[in-house]
Chain A
Amino acid sequence: GENVEQHPSTLSVQEGDSAVIKCTYSDSASNYFPWYKQELGKGPQLIIDIRSNVGEKKDQRIAVTLNKTAKHFSLHITETQPEDSAVYFCAAHKPNSNYQLIWGAGTKLIIKP
């Protein structure tokens, strides 16, 4: 079945620097890839997503890239700020399911002042 691997598990960057989190998926039929941000004491919140017919998508300081051939996608955060500190989850649509997502294990992003 579909499997999603996420790296790194923890990422510490200096405020103002960029952060990159990577995920790989196993089923080439997956066609939707969201990223969620979970702040302390809250549920995950969708921050950006990409479909398989697009290679890159940007929204202000965040961007997602997708490489279908290699079956991996990445989250890029530029000019990191303290409020970016959170746990980030990637996910991939599970083919032949009713919109079910398969989740990565999460990345704890720490922004150092």
Chain B
Amino acid sequence: KAGVTQTPRYLIKTRGQQVTLSCSPISGHRSVSWYQQTPGQGLQFLFEYFSETQRNKGNFPGRFSGRQFSNSRSEMNVSTLELGDSALYLCASRAAGSYGYTFGSGTRLTVV
């Protein structure tokens, strides 16, 4: 079956702009989580959506937001981009009742 698909793979944005990243989970998976990965900080949890509802949220400013659609696809948005937002953004999906997360290959965001 198809894996987790993230688009786009690479993005270059200017400081102050906003960006939207997309994630299509594995078919049947209703949970989608987002992570920020930077070389010095490892995997930082942003938020999790389950059946269109945000269920968990990490410690990130309000500039980071997300949503999930009825088909379980999810988007995350970052407004007023800062240089420090440059990172690999990973999406992971899992089936209800399971601990097993399947990650996408990520979107590499560079803010200049």
Q: Which residues of A come within 8 Å of B, CB atoms?
A: 32, 34, 36, 41-46, 49, 89, 93, 97-101, 103-106
Contact = CB atoms under 8 A, between A and B. Distances in A.
Interface of B: 4, 31, 41-43, 45, 48, 50, 55-56, 90, 92, 94, 98-106
Contacts of B106: 43
A100 B105 contact: no
Given A43-B4, A43-B106, A100 B48 contact: yes
A45 B103 contact: yes
Contacts, number: 48
Main secondary structure of the interface of B (DSSP, over half): strand
A30 to B, nearest CB: 11
A34 B103 CA distance: 14
Given A34-B99, A98-B50, A41 B56 contact: no
A45 B100 CA distance: 10
Contacts of B105: 41-43
Nearest to B42: A105
